[in-house]
Amino acid sequence: MSSGDGLAAARAAVAAIQDLESGPEALNAFLAVADVDELTLLNADGPLAGVPLAVKDNIATLDLDTTCGSKVLEGYRSPFEATVVRRAREAGAVVVGKTNMDEFAMGSSTENSAYGPVLNPHDRTRVPGGSSGGSAAAVAAGLVTMAFGSDTGGSVRQPAALCGVVGMKPTYGRVSRYGLVAYASSLDQVGTFGRSVADSARLMDVIAGHDDRDATSARRLVPDLEAAAGRGVEGLVVGLPKEYVSRLLDDDMRASINTAVDALRDAGAQIHEVSLPHAKHAIPCYYVIAPAEAASNLSRYDGVRYGVRRPGDDLVSMYEATRSAGLGPEVKLRIMLGTYVLSAGYYDEYYGTAQRARRLITEDFGRVFAAGVDVILTPTTPGPAFELGERTDDPLEMYLSDVFTVPANIAGIPGISVPIGRVRGLPVGAQILAPWWQEERMVAGAGALEAAFGVGGA
Ligand code: GLN
């Protein structure tokens, strides 16, 4: 082990993770940590040379297990590597660990992990958000520079906000899903975390672009998002949806969002009120479509093709025993919900209605952007991090944590969350949404907010 091999930062990261996670301040952010002697640097001159990278545990890696936070995949080692991981490594990033998450990315607090919850580094009695809570906490605690998450309904942006870091979800199709374990395939995208807008943008720049292994990845020119972070917002037209200043937003959060609006105005943006009348249907729409897709995607965890097997007297009882023991309560709930909404006789009433709502929600965004609005500003979450256990008995309350983030997944548009200071001592974020394929604008807006509030929201 020479010191000039470009692995110093990654070695330090592994040591810091082991140190923190074995002590009294442990966050439980990691499900697997790389062996220091097996760290590999593929490119010493790339844009991510030597950067310690954490990978959410639903993204396939060759040298570390991929469990999705589930018992059903305990000990599962993927025979292939996700495209995003390969691209990051080819750019010089060094994978230092796999991060804890809500089981199969279903959740908003990381309390649905089969391996115990992640704690928020700003207040260990509170959740880090979810489902990519381990990745957000790892970046917030300074354990890694960058991290991957996945965002199906807000799972990158929401934990980024609650942990005081930057998280972005690209346009659906911007990034390959090859090697991202499928939850709800029409909504899933890989997203990036960084302490700064430039860091999360640099990682996104490396992974964006068409991949022959994912037919939904687009053949689109990849912008330079890192450069866009410093572009400024002079003349940018920012839409503020009037529906988002709703009863769900507490007074302190509203005050915080108003400071973000003022900051953008001071930086040269024009602020306009806009309307997204169908956004209020986003959560019910999502909780039909996502479980429907999940019920289908998760049928593969049957004790035959993947992961653990529990014996049974015949095939069906083996399936039942495996799935009963291997899957947690929220995952089972979603599978039952999804199976129900797709069942004969109910299909059109539920799934058909949700698809029609999806179109209306998407058309709202299209109309606002076509009228000359460049980006839309919203809070990322209704409030700051909640306490561990506070919402575990109330699924609806938990689902509403994503009320501001889910519409972007439904429409497929990109979004970023950036810290804008504190509410009652805890970090909160603003979300900037952009039209399809216009990530540069949202990154420019996030850069302006970061310039006003400081990295981490100060
Ligand atoms: N909280 C939402 C859910 O449970 C979104 C999760 C995600 O984006 N993966 O489905």
Distance, in Å, from the CA atom of 124 to the CA atom of 166, rounded to the nearest integer, reads 20
Domain borders along the chain are: 281-352
Inter-residue contact 82 to 188 (CB < 8 Å) = no
Quickly count: other Cβ atoms within 10 Å of residue 260's Cβ: 27
Mutate to test the pocket of ligand 1, among 58, 102, 135 (most ligand atoms within 8 A of CB): 102
Q: SS3 helix, strand, coil % of the chain, rounded to 5?
A: 40, 15, 45
What is the DSSP code string of 196-259? SHHHHHHHHHHHBS--TT-TTS---PPP-HHHHTTS--TT-EEEEEGGGSSTTS-HHHHHHHHH
Mutate to test the pocket of ligand 1, among 108, 289, 410 (most ligand atoms within 8 A of CB): 108
- pTM for this structure? 0.97
Quickly count: other Cβ atoms within 10 Å of residue 25's Cβ: 12
CA of 18 to the centre of ligand 1 (A): 28
- First-last CA distance in the chain: 37
Ligand 1 pocket, CB under 6 A: 105-108, 131, 150-155, 183, 290, 402
Residue nearest to atom 10 of ligand 1 (CA): 106
**Tens digit of each residue's pLDDT (9 = 90 or more) over 143-193:** 999 999 999 999 999 999 999 999 999 999 999 999 999 999 999 999 999
Say if residue 247's pLDDT is above 80.
Answer: no
For residue 79, give the 3-state DSSP assignment: coil
Distance, in Å, from the CA atom of 299 to the CA atom of 182, rounded to the nearest integer, reads 11
Annotated catalytic residues are 56, 131, 155
The whole-number pLDDT of residue 246 equals: 67
Distance, in Å, from the CA atom of 99 to the CA atom of 447, rounded to the nearest integer, reads 27
The whole-number pLDDT of residue 1 equals: 46
CA of 291 to the centre of ligand 1 (A): 10
Residue in the block written with tokens 């216009």: 438
**Tens digit of each residue's pLDDT (9 = 90 or more) over 46-71:** 999 999 999 999 999 999 999 999 99
Residue nearest to atom 5 of ligand 1 (CA): 153
Distance, in Å, from the CA atom of 426 to the CA atom of 220, rounded to the nearest integer, reads 38
